[in-house]
Amino acid sequence: MEVKWSAEAVDALRARFGPEARTWKLVSDAEGCGCAVNGVPALWAVNEPLPDDLRADGGPVELWYEKRHEVFFDDEMRITYDAAKRSFTLASDGQIYTNRLATVDRRHG
């Protein structure tokens, strides 16, 4: 998987979570939806990837994902930021996954 980041998205992520939030995970978050198949894309700030996580190519942000979530995403995607709406967008050439990509701090300790 390759994820390209706009400069605005990188800057907004660092401004919102600080420079110490270096490791991110792209997930299809099904928590609270009642179905493991209909997840919502989200970015989680994590302390470190899990041992089986895979690293995405393509950007200044260290981005990981679980192999089981790979089926929900295209091979090539991009993350952009709209300052007027203060929101991140996850899209590919084939679709827009979300114009309001959730960013969640899942770091502990």
pLDDT digits (tens, 9 = 90+) for 9-54: 999 999 999 989 999 999 987 665 555 556 789 999 999 999 999 9
Tally the domains of the chain: 1
**DSSP labels, 6-70:** -HHHHHHHHHHH-TT--EEEEEEE-TTTS-SSS-EEEEEE-SS--TT-EEPBSSSSEEEE-GGGG
What's this model's pTM, rounded to 2 decimal places?
0.89
Decide if 74 is inside a domain: yes
CATH code for the domain in which residue 17 is found:
2.60.300.12
Decide if 109 is inside a domain: no
46-63: pLDDT as tens digits: 999 999 999 999 889 999
